[in-house]
Chain A
Amino acid sequence: SYELTQPPSVSVSPGQTVNITCSGDKLGDKYACWYQKKPGQSPVLIIYQDSKRPSGIPERFSASNSGDTATLSISVTQAMDEADYYCQTWAGGTAVVFGGGTRLTVL
């Protein structure tokens, strides 16, 4: 079965840029998307189709997808960005696959 691998945790200082990776076999051949999830809240779509932002998502969030790795970048990181981030794609066109999630800590 298809798997997506994310680092369990990353940390960043306020105002800095942080990258969160998501790895999967030939992931670049698929569309990847990213969700932000805070405790007690529902997931929020922050990136779709590899690099597009839904309306209302700050420009500080950007992403790319190539080869085996999709990367979410958060620039000028703020305390409010502290959350769990999940990448997601579709395998075989009918099965949804989530990465294990990355906890972002803003120190």
Chain B
Amino acid sequence: EVQLLESGGTLVQPGGSLRLSCGVSGFVFSDYAMSWVRQAPGKGLEWVAGITDNGDATYYAESLRGRFVISRDNSKDTVDLQMNTLKADDTAVYYCAGVDSRGSYSNAFDIWGQGTMVTVSS
């Protein structure tokens, strides 16, 4: 069974930092490019960052570039999101999601975690 389990979400003060982690099982992690996608309360889905299957390239939403860093460890089947200088607008449920690099779903996110809530507030 494919499983993606995010962790690390919590209440953090504005200006603070937080590291989210997503551990996976049930599939070959190195076959998947991974991304973080968030949904703020009452808002739509927003792509945050992505990383290739072997970790050699990372991509970021333009509005978040410089504050967030995505990384992965294929030996541990984990993908992380380091979030710095957090703002109230970063309050959201953060999902990790995967794209099969073999092209099975033509670069669509066919696997998703259940999400972890990040609240930025004083």
Contacts and interface: CB of A to CB of B under 8 A. Distances in A.
Size bracket, chain B contacts: 20 to 34
Contacts, number: 65
Interface string B33-44: 001010000001
Given A48-B106, A49-B105, A54-B110, A98 B95 contact: no
A52 B106 CA distance: 10
A8 B89 CA distance: 21
B47 interface: yes
Interface residues of A, number: 25
Contacts of A49: 105-106, 108
Given A48-B105, A95-B61, A96-B35, A42 B95 contact: yes
Nearest to A33: B108
A45 B61 contact: no
Interface in A39-83: 42-45, 48-49, 52, 54
Contact of A42 (B35, B105, B115): B115
Nearest to B35: A96
A43 B106 contact: no
A45 B108 contact: yes
Interface of B: 35, 37, 44-47, 50, 57, 59, 61-62, 95, 97, 105-110, 112-115
